[in-house]
Amino acid sequence: MAENESGQEKTESATPRRLEQAREEGQLARSRELPGALIAVAGALGAWVAGGELIRHFAGWFAHAIRQAGTRHDDVMVAAGDLAVHGAGVLLPWLFLVAVAGIGGTLALGGWNLTGKALAPKGERLDPFKGMKRIFGANAWVELSKTLLKFALVSGLGFAVIWWLREDIARLPRMDAQAGFGHAGIILLAVFSAGALALLLISAVDAPWQLFNHARQMRMTREEVKREAKDTDGKPEVKARQRQLQAEAARGRMMEAVPEADVVIVNPIHVAVALRYDAARMDAPQVVAKGLGEVAASIRGLAEAHRVPVLEAPPLARALYRATALGETVPAGLFAAVAEVLTWVYRLRVATAGAAPERPNPHVDDALGAPIE
């Protein structure tokens, strides 16, 4: 189990803040084998797909160069330039595929990360003891093992392919130049593909190991986790900011419910309470929004903009604000007053133009309807 300098075991997974700090310092899970393996595989696949075309073009160019070399008017530079121009047109798509594979393999683990901290000089890099630890540590042995495994697999698979194609190789000297050139290209491509497969197998083991090793190195002790939580969540300004964000989110959700309310009861501008009642799904009217001061003014303005009835009933508005929380139903003591208001709302909906019902003046207990300090 990993331990820190104080001897405590690092048993806890790294926190998001710890991972972000490590990322800023350039500490990411990277596989040295994956980019090379993907480059080799992409190169092999591209060669198999367009190999015949490549061999045909190169064979023709070389034959042309040989013929030109025997004439009196040969120009080596012109011939080389012509070969380069024609070769670029065929090779560029293949090289682009290889480049994309290499970049993708590099970014596959850890993604893109550009930071100057990783390039800054560090005194610990000059520490001879830590240098010896890097040379003879567990990671060094893992890298040496991967190098030996890579050599064994690549050379072993390459030799196996050569042995399998030994009869074809033996026939090469008896072939004409064009056929021999194409056949030799296929044999070389088969050997190269075997090496690419070996590199891919190694990277399939190396990439998960790098992820595991990075997570192991990023582990923290319980004391480090507690200290980080105290440094972040424990700061008054952080808590205040969190409360502010939570309040803003709750206010936003509350304001979204105002257009769906049946009525807004106000006092007339300092208090506002929005009610909604669905007889099919609710046992009693529900408070969907409420507020004082600027929030009350916003509720009233939003209600008027969406044609939600607004009733000025100061005692009832104050009583509802005191007695209910957001999302709660109206208490039994205010049923009669609220029922009187909702009856007015329903009559208002069916009333014809110019025949609006008389606004109610619901009675509320003096204690509940008293002004809000």
Contact assessment for residue 300 and residue 272, using Cβ atoms and an 8 Å cutoff: yes
pLDDT at 134: 59
Average pLDDT for the chain: 78
Task: Provide the residue type at 191 as one letter.
Answer: V
Give the pLDDT of residue 42. 85
| Residue 364 placed within a domain | no
The answer to whether residues 59 and 194 belong to one domain is yes
Residue 273 in this model has a pLDDT that exceeds 90: yes
Query: Residues 199, 277: one domain?
Result: no
- Please check whether residue 162 lies inside any domain of the structure: yes
| Residues contacting residue 348 through CB under 8 Å, at least 6 positions apart | 309, 356, 357
Same domain assignment for residues 203 and 289: no
In tens, the pLDDT along 207-222 reads 888 888 888 888 888 8
Residues 70 and 140 in one domain: yes
pLDDT band at 225 (very low <50, low <70, confident <90, very high): confident
237 C-beta neighbours (distance < 10 Å), count: 7
Question: How many helices (H) does the chain have, and how many strands (E)?
Answer: 12, 4
Residue 3 inside a domain? The answer is: no
CATH number, position 253: 3.40.1690.10
For residue 328, the 8-state DSSP code is P
Give the chain's domain count. Answer: 2
Strands 310-312 and 286-292, bridge-based pairing: unpaired
1 falls in which pLDDT band (50, 70, 90)? very low
Which residues have a Cβ under 8 Å from the Cβ of 97 and sit 6 or more positions away?
42, 43, 45, 46
50 and 139 housed in the same domain: yes
Q: Are residues 160 and 259 in the same domain?
A: no
Sort 294 into a burial class: Cβ within 10 Å, 0-12 / 13-18 / 19+.
exposed
State pLDDT tens for residues 299-337.
Answer: 999 999 999 999 999 999 999 998 888 888 998 888 899
Q: Does residue 366 register a pLDDT over 60?
A: yes
Task: Check whether residue 275 and residue 338 sit in a common domain.
Answer: yes
Please name the residues in contact with 25: beta carbons below 8 A apart, sequence gap of 6 or more.
115, 117, 118
For residues 342-354, average pLDDT = 83
CA distance 207 to 138: 17
* pLDDT of amino acid 272: 92
pLDDT-above-70 percentage for the chain: 75
Q: Are residues 50 and 166 in the same domain?
A: yes
Higher pLDDT: 54 or 103? It is 103
Residues 174 and 317 in one domain: no
DSSP secondary structure code for residue 172 in this structure = G
pLDDT in tens, 157-209: 888 888 988 888 888 777 776 677 677 778 888 888 888 888 888 888 888 88
Q: Tens digits of per-residue pLDDT, 24-67? A: 776 777 778 888 888 888 888 887 777 666 666 666 666 666 66
| Domain span including residue 295 | 244-350
Judge whether 304 and 259 are in contact, CB under 8 Å: no
Give which of 97, 4, 82 is closest to 44, Cα–Cα: 97
Round to whole Å and give the CA distance between 299 and 237: 29
Position 13 in a domain = no
Residue 89 confidence (pLDDT) above 70: no
Grouping H, G, I as helix, E, B as strand and the rest as coil, residue 280 is: coil
345: burial class by Cβ within 10 Å (0-12, 13-18, 19+)? middle
**CA-based diameter of the chain, in Å?**
119
Pair of tokens at residue 74: 């040969």
Q: Using one digit for the tens of pLDDT, what is the confidence trace for 236-257? A: 666 777 777 777 777 788 888 8
Same domain, 68 and 201: yes
Q: 371 and 292 in contact (C-beta within 8 Å)?
A: no
- For CA atoms 14, 19, 25, 27, give the dihedral sign: positive
The answer to the question of residue 97 being in a domain is yes
Measured CA to CA, the distance from residue 43 to residue 180 in angstroms comes to 22
Pair (154, 289) in one structural domain: no
- With respect to residue 280, please indicate whether it lies within any of the assigned structural domains: yes
Residue 20 domain-assigned (yes or no): no
If asked whether residues 96 and 164 sit together in one domain, one would say yes
CA atoms within 13 A on the CB side of 182: 12
* In-domain check, residue 108: yes
